[in-house]
Amino acid sequence: MFPTWLLPLAVCVFAALIVLYCLFLCTQLSALLREAAAAAEAEGERGGERGLTAEEVQRLEEGTMAVGGGGVCVVCRDEMEGAQAVRVLPGCRHAFHRSCADAWLQRQSSCPLCRARLLPPPLPLSTATPAPTPTPVSPSSRV
Ligand SMILES: [Zn+2]
Ligand SMILES: [Zn+2]
């Protein structure tokens, strides 16, 4: 009832199916690995220009308009008035509306006005040696 020539044929077909299945798994796996590597690479590239975290922004200096000396917030192009809370950036001492500065700094870690690179402020309970004070950037040096 079972032709003798059918058995080797069935074995061959079965083996071929297994090989095909392995090849399929391999392509799937390598595609996944490539995707993961590309994602990691993009993550690393973004890391160079990333903004501060919300927590780091919260540690930045806050003040009222007296600190900034008045003027226009370059982020929203609106006047900064006396009662408004402002965020003073470390280093260049430029001031912006607090909400404007917070939103900006979470996108990129540079001053919206003079583009001075902003480093996250050190943790308050840092045991490390105090960081050297950054050299102040004069806006008049950029013409
Ligand atoms: Zn603003
Ligand atoms: Zn600045």
- Calculate how far, in angstroms, residue 130's C-alpha sits from the geometric centre of ligand 1: 32
6-10, 46-50, 69-73: which is most confident: 6-10
Tell me which ligand sits closest to the C-alpha of residue 74. 1
What's the pTM value of the predicted model, to 2 decimals?
0.46
- Calculate how far, in angstroms, residue 124's C-alpha sits from the geometric centre of ligand 2: 23
Count of C-beta atoms within a 10 Å radius of residue 41: 10
Mean pLDDT of 6-32: 89
> Which pLDDT tens digit goes with each residue over 23-34?
999 899 999 888
Question: What pLDDT score was predicted for residue 28?
Answer: 92
> Which pLDDT tens digit goes with each residue over 52-62?
888 888 887 77
Protein residues near ligand 1, an ion, with CB under 5 A = 73, 75-76, 97, 100
- Calculate how far, in angstroms, residue 45's C-alpha sits from the geometric centre of ligand 1: 29
Kindly state the tokens that stand for 59: 């540690």
Mean pLDDT of 108-115: 90
Tell me which ligand sits closest to the C-alpha of residue 101. 1
Tell me which ligand sits closest to the C-alpha of residue 118. 2
Name the percent of the chain lying above pLDDT 70: 69
- Calculate how far, in angstroms, residue 118's C-alpha sits from the geometric centre of ligand 1: 18
- Calculate how far, in angstroms, residue 74's C-alpha sits from the geometric centre of ligand 2: 10
Cα angle 93-98-100, degrees, rounded to a multiple of 5:
100
pLDDT band, residue 68 (cuts 50/70/90): very low
Question: Who's near 57: CB < 8 A, 6+ residues apart?
Answer: 87, 101, 102, 105, 106
